[in-house]
Amino acid sequence: MSTEKRAGVSLPERTRPATAADLEALLFVVDRPLTRKEAAKLLEVDRAAFDRLAKELQSTLAGRGITLLTHGDELQLTSGPEQARAVLAWIGTGGSDMTAAPLETLTVIAYRQPVTKAGIEEIRGVDADYALRVLLERGLVEEVDRLETAGRPHRYATTMEFLRKFGLASLSDLPPLEGDAASILSLQLSSEEPSPADASPDEGPTTPAGEGALAD
């Protein structure tokens, strides 16, 4: 059997087309999300063929504890949304070494994203510097844009790593908030409203050129 070498690694000769099982194995051994382009290149298929493999894999994994997570153009294997309760229970009862502050901050971001640091602090009532630093270091949240108000503060949102860690296929799989926590969704954040200084000044009516003087 002939072999091919890539980056010093000998590859066996490909004797059949790539399958959904090949894609599953690839995503299983890679410790980060892969773009569709990367995965298609590794499987030696074109984009159309790759999309068919991804769709087949997603169907094959239905009902199992593992699902194919897609976020934008990236893919990764993760625990299924039906297992979210078990995963969240593990994280919330000592399985995670995160303290309450980062977890509470993560909840605010997950349900109100994109949201500014000031918005987070308005909801939680405490400084968010430490919690945000922890979440950024762990890749659970990221800066996505800036709010067009005074100072143009950063706004934060969750990442694909957040979905993977919490066993969510998408943000639509977040469990509904109950009780007092549900106020996170409806609370109006004064810290994210445009200040008077940000509004365009009322310039009032203008006088067309050449019409500024009234005849005596």
- Average pLDDT over every residue of 72-94: 68
Using the predicted structure, report yes or no on whether residue 215 has a pLDDT greater than 70.
Answer: no
19-79 and 83-187 in the same fold = yes
Burial 151-175 (b: 16+ CB within 10 A, else e): eebebbbbbbbbbbbbbbbeeeebe
37 confidence band (pLDDT: 50, 70, 90): very high
Q: Which pLDDT score, from 0 to 100, does residue 206 have?
A: 40
Q: What is the pTM of this model?
A: 0.55
- Rounded to an integer, the average pLDDT of 64-69 is 80
Query: Comparing 59 with 63, which gets the higher pLDDT?
Result: 59
Q: Is the pLDDT of residue 109 over 60?
A: yes
Q: With bands split at pLDDT 50, 70 and 90, how would you rate the model's confidence at 192?
A: low
Q: Which of these ranges, 32-41, 96-105, 151-160, has the smallest mean pLDDT?
A: 96-105
Percentage, residues of the chain above pLDDT 90: 32
Topology of 19-79 in CATH?
Answer: Arc Repressor Mutant, subunit A (1.10.10)
Q: What is the mean pLDDT of residues 143-170?
A: 85
With 50 as the cut, is the pLDDT of residue 201 above it?
no
**Considering the chain, what percentage of its residues have pLDDT values greater than 70?**
71
Task: Provide the mean pLDDT of the chain.
Answer: 77
Tell me the average pLDDT across 82-94.
Answer: 60
Of these ranges, 25-34, 47-56, 182-191, 202-211, the one predicted with the greatest mean pLDDT is 47-56
Instruction: Classify the phi-psi angles of 158: left when phi > 0, otherwise alpha if psi is within -120 to 50, otherwise beta.
Output: beta
Domain ranges, ordered by start, for the chain: 19-79, 83-187
pLDDT of the residue at 194: 62
User: What architecture does CATH give domain 83-187?
Assistant: Orthogonal Bundle (1.10)
